[in-house]
Amino acid sequence: MTAEKTTTPLLQVKDLHVWFELRRWGFSHAGYVKAVDGVTFNLDYGESIAVVGESGCGKSSLMRTILGINKPTSGQVLFEGRDLTRFSRAEWQSYRAKVGYVQQDPFGALPPFMNIQQILEEPLIVHGIKDAAERERRVRKAMEEVRLTPADDFIQKFPHMLSGGQQQRVVIARAIILEPKIVVADEPVSMLDASVRVEILKLLRGLQQAHNLAVIYVTHDLSTVRYFSERVFVMYAGNTVEKAPIDSLLQNPLHPYSNALLDATSDPDANNALTYRELPPGEPPSLVNPPAGCRFHPRCPKAIRGLCDVEKPAEFEPENGHQTACWLYKA
């Protein structure tokens, strides 16, 4: 688990809302896309959490806000106790060096016209490391850490000459080259072959342990979460509906949506072909006009009429360290 608990968590997200304005004809206001609508959590040094949810649940927007690409509409994001929205330019630059980003598409994440050395040097140059020898040293060190060795074989190559797995290693090397404290990995293996996925996830796990990195691993594939994270957040339509240590979630999912996700995930088992899976009907809601009350209630098999469709559920903690936003667990 975590190394030691310091008094200030590394990252604190407090009631974060990220709304995107929709404009008609570039001028008039046509509503908001409420991508993130009230998310609160803490992240400790060296802790590895997974954020699980389907597309459109807001997990990518949440990550982009943490990375500083989006601006919060309301709420706070505190890094080591300091509010991101109040950062000066210098503070932003220093923050950006402390958060690494691993993206989903390994080929798209690398500029095709730069070779590996240039790609890995970019963050160093941007952060003012002028000495070329120093940059080369750090580039080689990063390549060694992601096991792209011998470095000389790869350093002059261009992205299209590498396999998907190798490309993703370069992306990871770029994410850690500035020695960050947090790494945000947004679906880092979903575009890779099944057999390479495990390799990359193990690499990330190794790096996390070696450098005491906090890792936020965003995915929609629950089966991988087990080996690579300690805590899991489940997101639906802009809210976190359940937060728990991974084993608690797998053994005792509290929220009906988490249950549905677990039920829908397959393990390789020939008996699967003999039965139909039970799934919630319908589709995730529009983020412009989400349903009133609990956003899952139109699809929920256990919805309580008069409560779930009227009032947004508060967060309850039926077990220690296991929270869920569902009226079924009203204390």
Nearer to another protein, 298 or 316 (CB): 298
Which residue is listed with tokens 């993206």?
103
* Distance between first and last Cα of the chain: 29
Closest CA to 279 of 301, 295, 296: 301
Which residue is listed with tokens 């995730």?
284
Q: Determine if 196 is a binding residue for another protein (CB under 8 A).
A: yes
Is 51:112 a contact under the CB 8 Å cutoff?
no
- Residue 234: CB minimum distance to another protein, A: 12
Q: Determine if 194 is a binding residue for another protein (CB under 8 A).
A: yes
Is 165:126 a contact under the CB 8 Å cutoff?
no
- Residue 105: CB minimum distance to another protein, A: 5
Please give the residues from 200 up to 259 whose contact with another protein meets the rule CB under 8 A: 202, 220-224, 226-227, 250
Q: Determine if 308 is a binding residue for another protein (CB under 8 A).
A: no
Report the distance separating Cα 101 and Cα 89, nearest Å. Answer: 20
Nearer to another protein, 291 or 316 (CB): 291
* Helix runs in 149-283, H state only: 151-155, 164-176, 194-211, 222-228, 246-251, 256-264
Of the candidate residues 138, 140, 197, 255, the single one contacting another protein (CB under 8 A): 197
Contact segment (CB under 8 A) with another protein among 31-39, 61-69, 136-144, 207-215 equals 61-69
- Residue 168: CB minimum distance to another protein, A: 12
In order, the DSSP letters of 137-152 are HHHHHHHHHTT--SHH
Contact segment (CB under 8 A) with another protein among 139-147, 157-165, 304-312, 321-329 equals 157-165
Contact segment (CB under 8 A) with another protein among 3-11, 16-24, 60-68, 302-310 equals 60-68
Other CB atoms within a 10 A radius of the CB of residue 317 amount to 14
Contact segment (CB under 8 A) with another protein among 32-40, 272-280, 289-297, 312-320 equals 272-280
Q: Determine if 122 is a binding residue for another protein (CB under 8 A).
A: yes
Of the candidate residues 15, 144, 179, 283, the single one contacting another protein (CB under 8 A): 283
Is 165 strand, coil or helix? helix
Q: Determine if 135 is a binding residue for another protein (CB under 8 A).
A: no
**Tokens representing 199?**
């390799």
Q: Determine if 110 is a binding residue for another protein (CB under 8 A).
A: yes
Q: How far is CA 134 from CA 115, 138, 211, 311, in A?
A: 18, 6, 20, 57
Is 32:22 a contact under the CB 8 Å cutoff?
yes
Report the distance separating Cα 205 and Cα 237, nearest Å. Answer: 28
Interface residues with another protein (CB under 8 A)?
Answer: 26, 54-55, 64, 67-69, 92-93, 96-97, 99-101, 103-105, 108-111, 113, 122-123, 126-127, 163-165, 171, 174, 178, 193-199, 202, 220-224, 226-227, 250, 260-270, 272-273, 276-277, 279-280, 283
